[in-house]
Chains A and B, each alone.
Chain A
Amino acid sequence: MSDVEGDDPEEEEYDESFEDSYAEDSEFEYEDEEYLDEDNMEKVEVEYTYPTSETKMGTLTHRMKYEPVDVEDVQRSLEEKVKQLDTILQIGTDECRILLMRYNWNDDKLLEDFTNESLDKFFEGSGLSKNSKPVGGWDLIEQKTDESFECHICFSSPSKDQPLAVFRLGNCDHPFCIRCYVKYIQEANANSRLLIPCPEADCGLIIRLSELQQLSDYGWKERERAREEKRKETEKQSRVPLTEEEIRQKYQRDQIEAELSEFSDLEIGEGETGENEEEKKVKVEPKNKADDTDEDPEAKLFNFQERILVQEREERERRRNQTLLSKYWFNVASKYCSKHCKSFKNCPFPDCDSLIMQQGFDSNVVATLEEFTKRQLIPTVQCSHKHEFCYSCLKGDHSPCPCSIAEKWEKKCKDDTETAHWITANTKDCPECSMPIEKNGGCNHMQCRNCNYEFCWVCLKDWACHNNSYFNCTKYVEDIGEAKTAQEKSRKSLERYLFYFRLFDNQRSSLSKDRELLEQFEGKIQEMQKKSSVSWIETLFYRESVDVLLQARRELMWSYAIMYYIDPKCPKQLVEGVQCTLSHQVEKLSRLFADTEVNAVLQQKAKFLNYSNTVKKSRDLLRETYLDCIANGVVKLTRK
């Protein structure tokens, strides 16, 4: 719950900066704003893919620097860029924003063109007006009563008793009725267009953000007003029967409201009214904390933290789609991220909308991600929702296994596992040429199709010594090992693979079983919290231990995958040693989870902390050892 509450102050801050940035800022305000943002910057810490810049053995880790961000953070940093440009050009933030978008936020190229081209040409080519009027308190919305006016989109005109609300841009004289304007911008938003020109045929002016804001605000206010009226109406309606006149009025109002609903970019439209949203927000709390017994049992199993995340995400999505402006801003930021895809990546976890911003490397040799992964290093990052994934291949975290090996392993598992299982279960190799043979019926007298060798299926010896006793091999075989050496050779690699695959698979299934168990446990802990006065923070150690356990299991799992690829000539004792230790400790912790009753969790706190600490240490050791061994060439990953 505190997660949700923790978000609120940030939201407020965000809104403030949002508004401020569109208001005309005097020099003083601007200073203030920057100061505030500096504070913000301090809060966001740069994270590293590896805790230290070198291992204890002195191997450089060249760690990657990154920052978990969300779209709103990107919006803020873009707005910073706009302001910075404006301090240089002094032509207004609205104009700077359009220029930056035209130049894909490449301000160097922009400044070059700005100084080289003639100003008039530069402005015209960018869809800006030479003598731009800033959009201040001046209203771009007007109630037209002039009957000769005609909207060039829908051809409607105001009549005597019904004025027509029109909107125009500050720098041209092309008014259109608001309804058409909104439709036009909605469509542009839906197609993620950022530079939206005036709807008039020969007008090249681009809609500025503050203009868009007026349109957006107007729509929003009108919608709220219509809702309020409707609410009052329904209140009244429940008490008194309506007169004919009232019904007529109500019908008209409904129609107006239906039209106004178009102002929002929300697809859900009417169902999602303002009051409902408010209620929903408030409801979030009791739902998680207390006394609704009629809750879906499945939802109960569902991880508590994840549920909060999903709710938060839905809330964010709603906010992003709320108005024309917010949707537009969302498009600006997400387009920026996709254009700069080298430094921004989306979290690949389902239902997660956070981003990772790459910020270079802590190294003087490695400068790109390719160079980083070439050194068999793994860029494991953690998004703001604690999802761990590989920044390079965008799969779930696979450290200590390098990307290339992890990919090979997964492919092999996919291709070979089923086949290998079937082959070991259903075939024998020909004692002469080692071709796998399936016996699908008939007698024990086999003849290999490959080498024509005749042998007995039961004892795998030459058929010649069987004296035509077709179905029974009565001869006791003394030295079967000798006969099978060729077969063994060919099966050896398969067995090796299966050996590591079983270890891998075993960890994988343990991982999912542990997760299941812990989710159930989580539910029980919540119940306990309701009954007793245990606070959320007091059970935090439990959740952290869970994370440690799951993470360790995952790492152990991938370390088995590496083992398969290690050259047989390399000394494996070191890595096997740490693997063994970690595996032992993981089992210990896992057992503690299984053995501890819910009520006893708090008493066992010290044990949990202790165990998970050891696991954490061994895990770090495992990671370091692998890194050292691979980097120094102690183990070579050369096997196919």
Chain B
Amino acid sequence: MANRDLRTERIQQERKQWRKDHPFGFYARPTKASDGSLDLHNWKAGIPGKPQTKWENATYPVTIAFPEEYPAKPPKIRFPPGFYHPNVYPSGTICLSILNEDQDWRPAISLKQLMLGIQELLDTPNPGSPAQEPAWRAFEKDKVEYEKKVRQQAKQYADKH
């Protein structure tokens, strides 16, 4: 082994840290590959909507893919395609500055920080950088329609009690 694999090393550390301490309501774990082994480079995670917002009582699923160059490059985090949010592309890719290598991504940003950042984004979208038409238009022009759609989506991902 010529070079130690910084990516895998870091991901393992992230996993350890996450297990030790993670914010309430969140989950994040590596996926299983087809042969049943653990795929450290692709994770599944869930982000709860903040209480007292229209996103509450639901946990929104995301996928996290760690590229070869991680942590020099940010992981790619996506909601399911078609996710309703002004800053989420139709493909589900999230438009957030800390997830952008050319903007605010830094190697020292932890998974926990990313997750909290996305949770924050849910109820405080940034209308300055729209990523999809329907949600952005509704958010700007028709708050009633926007809230209705968001509530509807919350129901779809509602927590089972």
Contact = CB atoms under 8 A, between A and B. Distances in A.
Contacts of A193: 102
Given A183-B72, A184-B72, A258 B6 contact: no
B102 A199 contact: no
A263 to B, nearest CB: 12
Interface string B88-122: 00000000001001100011111001000000000
B137 interface: no
Interface residues of B, number: 21
B69 interface: yes
Nearest to A188: B72
Given A153-B71, A184-B107, A201-B109, A262 B101 contact: no
A258 B2 contact: yes
Contacts of B10: 153-155
Contacts of B98: 201
A259 interface: yes
A154 B108 contact: no
Given A153-B108, A154-B9, A180-B107, A187 B3 contact: no
B13 A155 contact: yes
Nearest to A187: B72
A200 B108 contact: yes
Contacts of B113: 201
Interface string B1-34: 0111010011001000100000000000000000
Interface string B57-84: 0000000000001011100000000000
A176 B6 contact: no
Interface in B106-151: 106-110, 113
Contacts of A187: 69, 72-73
Nearest to B4: A259
A203 B108 CA distance: 10
Interface string A203-244: 100000000000000000000000000000000000000000
A186 interface: yes
Contacts, number: 55
Contacts of A199: 106-108
Interface residues of A, number: 25
A175 to B, nearest CB: 11
Contacts of B110: 152
A223 to B, nearest CB: 14
A152 B9 contact: no
A179 B106 CA distance: 15
Contact of B6 (A152, A154, A201): A154
A26 to B, nearest CB: 36
Contact of A258 (B3, B17, B72, B73): B3
A197 interface: yes
Interface in A241-298: 258-259, 261-262
Contacts of B101: 191
Interface string A169-203: 00000101001100110111001010001111101
A261 B3 CA distance: 9
Residue of B71, B108, B110 with highest tally of chain A CB at under 10 A? B108
A181 to B, nearest CB: 9
A310 to B, nearest CB: 30
Nearest to B109: A201
Contacts of B108: 152-153, 174, 176, 199-201
Interface-central residue, B10, B69, B72, B101, by most chain A CB under 10 Å: B72
A369 B109 CA distance: 48
A631 B109 CA distance: 65
Interface string A122-152: 0000000000000000000000000000001
A194 to B, nearest CB: 11
A258 B107 CA distance: 22
Contacts of B73: 187
Most B CB within 10 A of own CB, among A180, A197, A203:
A180
Contacts of B2: 258, 261
Contacts of B13: 154-155
A183 B106 contact: no
B14 to A, nearest CB: 8
Contacts of A153: 10, 71, 107-108
B102 A201 contact: no
A191 B74 CA distance: 14
A200 B9 contact: no
Contacts of B9: 154-155
Contact of B3 (A152, A174, A198, A262): A262
B92 to A, nearest CB: 24
Interface in A543-601: none
A201 B114 CA distance: 11
A198 B107 CA distance: 9
Contacts of B6: 154, 179-180, 183
B11 to A, nearest CB: 11
A186 B102 contact: no
A197 B97 CA distance: 14
A255 to B, nearest CB: 8
Nearest to A197: B106
Nearest to A174: B108
Given A201-B109, A201-B113, A259 B3 contact: yes
16 contacts: A152-B108, A153-B10, A153-B71, A155-B9, A155-B10, A174-B108, A176-B107, A176-B108, A179-B6, A187-B69, A187-B72, A188-B72, A199-B108, A201-B106, A201-B108, A258-B2
Given A201-B98, A201-B113, 7 more contacts: A155-B13, A183-B6, A184-B107, A188-B72, A199-B107, A259-B3, A262-B3
Closest 6 CB pairs of A and B: A187-B72, A155-B13, A152-B108, A199-B107, A258-B2, A153-B107
